[in-house]
Structure 1
Amino acid sequence: MIGKVIIIDDEPDILSSLSAILADEGYSVETSTSFTDKIDLANADLLLLDIWLINQNGVEILEAVKKDFPDVPVVMISGHGNIRLAVDCIKKGAYDFIEKPFDLERVLTTVRNAVEISHLKKTLQKERETRLQKIRFVTENKDLIASMEQLKKVYGEARVFWLSGEAGVGKKRLATYIELTQNPATKIEKVSFSDFLEVKEKNQTFPIAYFMDMENVSESALETLPTFLDSLSREETVWFLSRSVPPANTIQWIPIHYRIPKLFARKEDVPVLIRYYVEEFSQSLQKPSLKVSKEAMLYLQAYHWPGNVRELKNFVERACLFTQEETIRVETAQNLLEGGTWLQEEKPIRLKEAVQSFERNYILYMIRKNAGNISKTAEDLGVERTHLYRKLKGLGIENPRQEALEL
């Protein structure tokens, strides 16, 4: 099956002949003599719609379909067409207009092109959803959700934003999430304060968002920014990311400020964040998803998380890497968070042995993460490829790719 086509026409002969032709071409075809709610447009790749239906107006149906299913191409068909009617249908969202009696080659070409466009839109939508899932700002905190919705509403009108909060709360992730949900085509530029003035002088012809770390930038230096911010085009936004609130002398040209609360102040986010990162790292490591015992979850919610979400993410990654059981228990969580060791040895071991054991497991983990690519692993570890091979030999790892899979 190369695509699903729905045909709506009140002439049985047309339905029969057209559906037979398209079925022979490999399409899945659904037919109807009228437009009803039972028609499965949600899974359709194309709708062929007769303009003149008994007791129904095809143009009105077109408008309704484009409102509820905007990505489904609609080709209008008619035995009484004219240029004015065709133009009107195209303006209302029709992909094309075909007159009866049909030119078979034109019908097949139009159907093929429309279905290809439908498939492309679905692919792009799936890629966009996957991309958004990877940068999704995960929270169940009502105040934070309300603030996110407010940021989305003012996006487009406001071009300058200031996000503050402790290190690791997710300032950059929230800014990225807002940008890409509101404008998927945005290019994100991470710039320093000094670089921004130079970059801003260039003419931008595409959507761009500047992410600027404001740590260690003096208040006097900020006085040079208003002139540049006044010249922002409709294609540009600026996100200032800082641990502190905006200085008093910047309020007039930074209208939108939001402070992200620390993780300890939104304990309801701990379970959902843990589930989110467990799923992410389990897929990356190709391991079954870990469960968290009730006692461990209570402990994790009570934990103070000085490193905020960044610390929680690192905790989950280490738990997925080193936990041998199917469930994270409170003892494991305490060991990983409070200076304990993931080495579950009954007897004390020498420091050299502990270091070697950690190196072995971590290097194998990185090899597995990079799908067995030794060069990429060496690059990620910050060592030369030859040095990594010597290290593998010294740790007794003869078949790194195989042993990484068995980790």
Structure 2
Amino acid sequence: MPNLLIIEDEAAIRRVLSKILKEEDESYQVDEAADGVEGVKKIKANDYDLVLCDIKMPKMDGVEVLQEIQKLKPEIPVIMISGHGDIETAVDTMKKGAFDYIAKPPDLNRLLNTVRIALDRKELITENKRLKRKVSKNYQMIGESEAMTKVKDMIEKVAPTEARVLITGENGTGKELVAHWLHQKSERAKKPIIEVNCAAIPSELIESELFGHVKGAFTSANKDRAGKFEAANGGTIFLDEIGDMSLSAQAKVLRALQENKIQRVGSDKDIKVDVRVLAATNKNLKQEIADKNFREDLYHRLAVILIEVPALNDRREDIPLLITHFAEKIAKEQGTQVCTFTNKAIKLLQNYNWTGNIRELRNVVERLLILGGKEIDDKTVTQFSGK
């Protein structure tokens, strides 16, 4: 439930703003403060998703409040409320970090639209930060085989450029890992990488997920919502399993790549986006093109650089390193002692047919750690690996 704070010294305006916001969306929780000092105290004590702040107030004016918010909780968007004579100051506050300003008396549509956009933006920023933390902890590329060395070398060459990359390979080979490495080693690393699993989203929702929608665009669209392309603005969007994307969505992605513009579902307004596109698939897209399931023009837009991730069966020499990595990682996650694998156990695992690739190997290692003892030998592998 979004938690909003109104800082305004005129009680009548506070009541009007509070009433407007509560009537627009019953999920808004609205708090009030009669001056800047009280407002800052409340911000220190509570978590707010958005602040509406008057500029001219006793004790502490809106500019000072804005500066305090940026010191205390810079992630909170602040909308300034300006009187007729404060417009110049309001514009100046935007240069200092305010999200926007609303003139008195507040225009109903402008107020509600600005609040919705600000809350959407905060949600995206919060999600981006969560994803960045996830990236730093969970994405490592393990392997010293010739096949993996080629992949790493290609990443080093391509990552600093703006080239689009199509990553191919079987399920479970680590295509997502390659995408994250490309992003982390690029000039966009400080901006978000936004992932979209095209196979996991119903075809009727994929366009809304990618490009956003406006209120009323379809039955459940009860408010404006930004899509993944907007969330990735300035950074990278990773379209995983793009071979499963509908032809309709493919056409819109092609336009976004050609013109660097998108349109939210239900709107004809163009929104400029600056996004690097990485895509991945386990399908043969040339065959999909022949079968009329994939656009050839989109393929050529995406496949400026091709990176094929090798199957685990083609890089068996990396299996000992992967076993050690997974054993240590799983033990840390579960708070247990790290188990060791005998040479015979490792040799046996190297000789298995890994149709599920690295994902399957990780699952087997986890099963062996749970069911085996402190030392995993070849007998334990034969008994519990499920191979």
Tell me the TM-score normalised to structure 1 length.
0.46
Tell me the TM-score normalised to structure 2 length.
0.48
Q: Which has the larger radius of gyration?
A: 1
Higher relative contact order structure (alpha carbons within 8 Å, sequence separation ≥ 6): 2
